Structure 1
């Protein structure tokens, strides 16, 4: 019993430390970050995600800042029968580059941190539900569907440094006609 408690306690300390070490992009500029992004890389280690790995494709999103500092994030994902559109409201926090949103799928509030971006080419984004590794994700976004190999390697190294296995890191193929050209 004592060993189990120590193991759980040390695990919680690790997660707290891992979350605390996630810092947003310095001097994050939401206006420069706005616009079209493609999710070209994804790291997710939830066992429930394994059956869907082979079905994942590059998805497209539009970041639209609101006057109050929140963000509407519209995402398109290819599903078996259609191209699905979802709108997420990312609420601003007191830290630029860090947002909160309610995941209807997981029924939890998640934090979204833009950890690194050059605004014109790529962004590394870290999503998590505090104290629950099951909901931790790292994503690589690009302004285009294809990024330089050094940026893909940077993303993979970042995900591995955050505890993801190589098997949990994906760089999926593009989706055909999702969204359609008129989205």
Structure 2
């Protein structure tokens, strides 16, 4: 048992170091980040994601900053015949733009890059079904991401160890989109 615990220490230290290397958006402003975002692309090594990535559709996030620096996030995901909805609190951890979401198993959520008006890159380190995984999501203010936003995603996800074959551009779906868009 002691040898098992000792063998886990380097792995845990590596995870801590790897997480610390993911930088945050400088001077992150939660109020500017608030509003409607479309999740237009995702990259992940999560086994559940990899098994479903070819069938996933674009989803939305309606984000509202709270007075304490947390984010209230309303997520809508297209399902087989309905729009699935989830509400979650992104709890601020230390620096602005750094969160955890215990209800979803998100251990580390970081807004790593955003211009607030067109795109954002969101890094997520999570636990799902007992396994740890990394995910990067590209948010866009419209269902069509700009070439600059896609390039920012493509430049970033290899830095956290994710290869190209784990990336998917999500097809549009009318099921969960706001009616006025």
TM-based fold match above 0.5: yes
- For residues 164 and 12 of structure 1, the distance between their equivalents in structure 2, rounded to whole angstroms, comes to 19
- Let me know the Cα RMSD of the aligned residues: 2.5
TM-score when normalising by structure 2: 0.85
- For residues 5 and 69 of structure 2, the distance between their equivalents in structure 1, rounded to whole angstroms, comes to 42
In structure 2, the partner of 1:19 is 19
Measured after TM superposition, the shift of residue 67 of structure 1 is 2.3
Contact 2:39–2:140 (8 Å) recurs in 1: yes
In structure 2, the partner of 1:76 is 76
In structure 2, the partner of 1:102 is 102
In structure 1, the partner of 2:137 is 139
Contact 1:102–1:109 (8 Å) recurs in 2: yes
What are the equivalent positions in structure 2 for 1:1-183 lying under 5 Å apart?
11-104=11-104, 108-129=105-126, 134-181=132-179
Aligned length: 176
Measured after TM superposition, the shift of residue 8 of structure 1 is 5.9
TM-score when normalising by structure 1: 0.84
| CA offset digits 1:26-47 (Å, max 9, x no partner) | 1111111110101111111122
| CA offset digits 1:98-139 (Å, max 9, x no partner) | 1111134xxx35221101111101111111148x97332111
Measured after TM superposition, the shift of residue 19 of structure 1 is 0.5
Instruction: Provide structure 1 residue ranges, at least 5 long, that are not aligned to the other structure.
Output: none
